[in-house]
Structure 1
Amino acid sequence: MGEIVLSEVRKSFGGVSIIQGIDLVIPEGEFVVFVGPSGCGKSTLLRLIAGLEDTSSGTISIDGKDATRLPPAKRGLAMVFQSYALYPHMSVRKNIAFPLRMAGLPAEEQQRKVEAAAKVLNLTPYLDRKPSQLSGGQRQRVAIGRAIVREPAAFLFDEPLSNLDAALRVSMRQEISELHHTLKTTMVYVTHDQVEAMTMADRIVVLNAGRIEQVGSPLELYRSPANLFVAGFIGSPKMNLVEGAEAARHGAHTLGVRPEHIDIAEDGPWKGMVGLCEHLGSDTFLKVEVEGVGQINVRVGGDVPLRHGSQVSLAPQADKLHRFDAAGKAMA
């Protein structure tokens, strides 16, 4: 079991409201990612679920039981932090077994659980090494192993990949996703990286200033952002947002179009000059100054023969345009 339900959860520090009335249901077995800019409250919300912070008001239920005032150890959750927090003098085996020893489990059962977790995480060859003999990705897997042996109702991850280099981040994203498919346990994951959110989540919770802006699958948020904040946050490169006469022509206050939904055409409605041109192999990113519209980011194929100063004609795909009203809400 691992359903987590938040009802009108609020958190204030002094007179400052950090979490502002969150309602959210995380079904058993789901991989949910909290994403948003720095200071949006995503880590605070995770710590409230874990019991590391007290709620100011509202309730948190885990498996149908009110856990709002329960201490962390009584919630049946396991948390993995950005810092590995491993004991440097202990072997990998002893690090993973630590919570089991603290719980007083028999040595034979400890060994069985540690070896099972190590097998899942491909750590078996490293069980007798010290943390200093491991790579950053291996250390993070040890921290995850220490959580797995507790057999929690849910795993809580607080930006666990932030200390890793780019290549290791990609590898660990895949490993954590595979772990979720293997264990089928509820996972709640915090990140500021929307690429991590898009590639890992069953559902994404987009947070801004302590409020939920939108909840949905990665494709739902990509295809149908509820407002300008989500439109500008989800997607890489970011959605182009155009105001003025061009937006009004489409009956909107703001017109949105993603860089990959703009074609280079012989006689498109947007004409301009290429500024920055980034050739990345499979893709080329262009910044085009369009008369009467402004700077537009365009994502095209890697073999497009354009460079700084090239004149281009652009055609946004009509069925991929997003319209927003003056309040920033998506229009039908």
Structure 2
Amino acid sequence: MGKITLSQVRKSFGEVDVIPGIDLSIEDGEFVVFVGPSGCGKSTLLRLIAGLEDTTSGKIDIDGRDATLLPPAQRGLAMVFQSYALYPHMTVRKNIAFPLKMAGMSAAEQEAKVQHAAKILNLTNYLDRRPGQLSGGQRQRVAIGRAIVREPAAFLFDEPLSNLDAALRVTMRQEISELHQSLKTTMIYVTHDQVEAMTMADKIVVLNAGRVEQVGSPLDLYHSPRNLFVAGFIGSPKMNLITGPEAARHTCTTLGVRPEHIRVGDGPWQGVVGLSEHLGSDSFIKVEVDGIGTINVRAGGEIDVRHGDRIRLAPDMDKLHRFDAEGLALK
């Protein structure tokens, strides 16, 4: 079982509150992603759960047991870091088996568990190689394999894909998601990349300056951001945020509309095309709209617009987001 509950967990470094106080419940078997900009406290929060940082105050329960003061080795968790942290002189087999050897497990049991993890991660043919003979993705799979053999209550991933190129990141995202479906074990994953969060998570925790801005499923956060921070962070490209007379016309301080919810054609907004990015299936078009400012539009890949063209835009009125002067979403 891998239920983790945080009750008013706080972390301070001297006079600075990095985590002012968080309440959070992570259910057994959930894939939860902590997401937010650099410095928001997401890695610190993960390290508090792992026991690599001491809490200043508050309580951490793991499977109903108070783990706040337990050392990392007694929490039943396995952590995968951004750096692979593999022993370069050891084979893949020995790297994966290392925590089992340290626990005093017999050689036969170690080998059985290593073979099982290698099969799950497609590493069977690489067990006799050393890390220097592997690609970045394979090294990360070895690090994950070392976590799997421990059979933890939960896996903790601290930006594990940051060192990989773009194509390999996509592949590894899929592999980690499939691993979660296979193992049915709780996973907590830290990233600054909201695309990773949207594509992998059962539940996203959006953090800002150590505080939880919103918790929910990817689609909950996409369709119903509770404030301007979440609205601007979730979604790619980012939501257009409009102030001034156009927002006032909709009785709000800030009006939000996602690029994919704006159609090029007859509509109330007029503007001049600036930069256009044609990516094949999609085109991203920046339009300087009269009386509003720059609007980002996501259109089909076949659209024919050029720099300097004057076009009209029609926002989907059913999908507008309205925010008050405090930045909170209006119903």
- Name the TM-score class by shorter chain: over 0.9
- Name the structure 1 match of 2:59: 59
- Name the structure 2 match of 1:222: 222
The Cα shift of 1:265 comes to: 1.8
- Name the structure 1 match of 2:92: 92
AA matched with 2:5: V
The SS at the match of 2:45 is helix
Matched, 1:155 2:170: no
* Structure 2 CA distance for aligned equivalents of residues 313 and 323 of structure 1: 22
The Cα shift of 1:259 comes to: 0.2
Runs of 4+ in 1 over 2 A off after TM superposition: none
Q: Describe how 1:63-142 pairs up with structure 2 within 5 A.
A: 63-142=63-142
Q: Which runs of 5+ in 2 are unaligned?
A: none
TM-score under structure 2 length normalisation: 1.00
Identical-pair percentage: 79
- Name the structure 2 match of 1:302: 301
AA matched with 2:317: A
- Name the structure 1 match of 2:291: 292
- Name the structure 2 match of 1:248: 248
* Structure 2 CA distance for aligned equivalents of residues 288 and 20 of structure 1: 41
Q: Which runs of 5+ in 1 are unaligned?
A: none
Q: How many residues align?
A: 331
* Structure 1 CA distance for aligned equivalents of residues 311 and 64 of structure 2: 59
* Structure 2 CA distance for aligned equivalents of residues 121 and 69 of structure 1: 33
TM-score under structure 1 length normalisation: 0.99
- Name the structure 2 match of 1:36: 36
* Structure 2 CA distance for aligned equivalents of residues 32 and 126 of structure 1: 30
- Name the structure 2 match of 1:326: 325
- Name the structure 1 match of 2:204: 204
* CA deviation profile, 1:257-298 (whole Å, cap 9, x unmatched): 0000001122x1100000001111100100000011110000
Q: Describe how 1:236-275 pairs up with structure 2 within 5 A.
A: 236-266=236-266, 268-275=267-274
The SS at the match of 1:21 is strand
AA matched with 1:253: T
- Name the structure 2 match of 1:280: 279
The SS at the match of 2:104 is coil
* Structure 1 CA distance for aligned equivalents of residues 306 and 123 of structure 2: 48
AA matched with 1:233: F
* Structure 2 CA distance for aligned equivalents of residues 127 and 101 of structure 1: 16
The Cα shift of 1:243 comes to: 0.5
The Cα shift of 1:233 comes to: 0.2
AA matched with 1:105: M
AA matched with 1:227: N
* Structure 2 CA distance for aligned equivalents of residues 250 and 19 of structure 1: 36
* Structure 2 CA distance for aligned equivalents of residues 307 and 231 of structure 1: 29
